[in-house]
Amino acid sequence: MKNTWVPLIFLFLFASRVSAQAIQEQELEGISYRPRIINTTDLGADPDDKQSMVRQLVSASEFDIEGLIVATGCWRKTQSNTKMLDTILDAYAAAYPNLKVHADGYPTPEYLRSLSVMGQTGYGMDDVGSGKDSPGSELIIASADGDDPRPLWVMGWGGMNTIAQALWKVRDTRSDEGLKKFLSKLRLFDVLGQDDAGAWIAKNFPDVFYIRATGVYGWQPPKNGDYQRNAIQNHGPLGAVYPDTQWATEGDSPAFMHVYPNGLNDPGQIDQGSWGGRFDPTRKAGIRSMSEVAKIENDAETQYDPYYMYGNTEEGADAIKRWSKGYNNDFAARMDWSIISNYKDANHHPVAVLNGDRTRRVMYMTASAGNNIVLSAEGSTDPDGNSISYEWSFYDEPSSYEGSVSIMNDKSMKASIEIPENSKGRNIHVILEVYDNGSPNLYAYRRMIINVNP
Q: How far is the CB of 54 from Ca ion (least distance, A)?
A: 14
Answer whether 367's CB lies under 8 Å from 452's CB. Answer: yes
**Cα separations in angstroms, 335 against 78, 81, 244, 302:** 32, 28, 16, 43
**Number of residues binding to Ca ion, judged by CB under 5 A:** 12
- Cis-peptide into 306, omega within 30 deg: yes
| Cα 329 to Cα 347: distance, rounded to the nearest angstrom | 10
> In terms of Cα–Cα distance, which of 24, 18, 60, 33 is closest to 266?
33
Q: Which is nearer to Ca ion, 53 or 208 (CB)?
A: 53
Looking only at residues 155 through 184 of this chain, which bind Ca ion when binding is defined by CB under 5 A? 157-158
Q: CB 91 → Ca ion: shortest distance, Å?
A: 19
Q: Could you say which residues in the range 206-235 bind Ca ion, by CB under 5 A?
A: none
**Contact window for Ca ion (CB under 5 A) among 95-103, 221-229, 398-406, 438-446:** 438-446
Work out whether 347 is an interface residue with Ca ion (CB under 5 A): yes
Cβ density class 302-326: b for 16+ within 10 Å, e for less: eebeebebbbbbeebbbbbebbeeb
Of the residues 12, 13, 36, 49, which one makes contact with Ca ion according to CB under 5 A: 49
Phi and psi, residue 394, nearest 5°: -85, 125
Of 318 and 384, which has the nearer Cβ to Ca ion?
A: 384
Q: Are 397 and 313 within 8 A, CB to CB?
A: yes
Q: Which of residues 93-152 bind Ca ion (CB under 5 A)?
A: none
Nearer to Ca ion, 23 or 216 (CB): 216
The answer to whether 301 contacts Ca ion (rule: CB under 5 A) is no
Nearer to Ca ion by Cβ, of 190 and 436: the residue is: 436
Smaller CB distance to Ca ion: residue 49 or 301?
Answer: 49
Number of CB atoms found within 10 A of residue 141's CB:
19
CB of 382 to Ca ion, least distance (A): 4
Query: Closer CB to Ca ion, residue 179 or residue 290?
Result: 290
Interface with Ca ion by CB under 5 A: which range of 132-140, 172-180, 362-370, 431-439?
431-439
Give helix 176-185 / helix 135-145 axis angle, nearest 10°.
Answer: 90
List 132, 436, 444, 448, residue binding Ca ion (CB under 5 A) = 436
Can you tell me whether residue 359 is helix, strand or coil? coil
Q: Which residues bind Ca ion (CB under 5 A)?
A: 42, 49, 157-158, 252, 347-348, 382, 384, 386, 436, 438
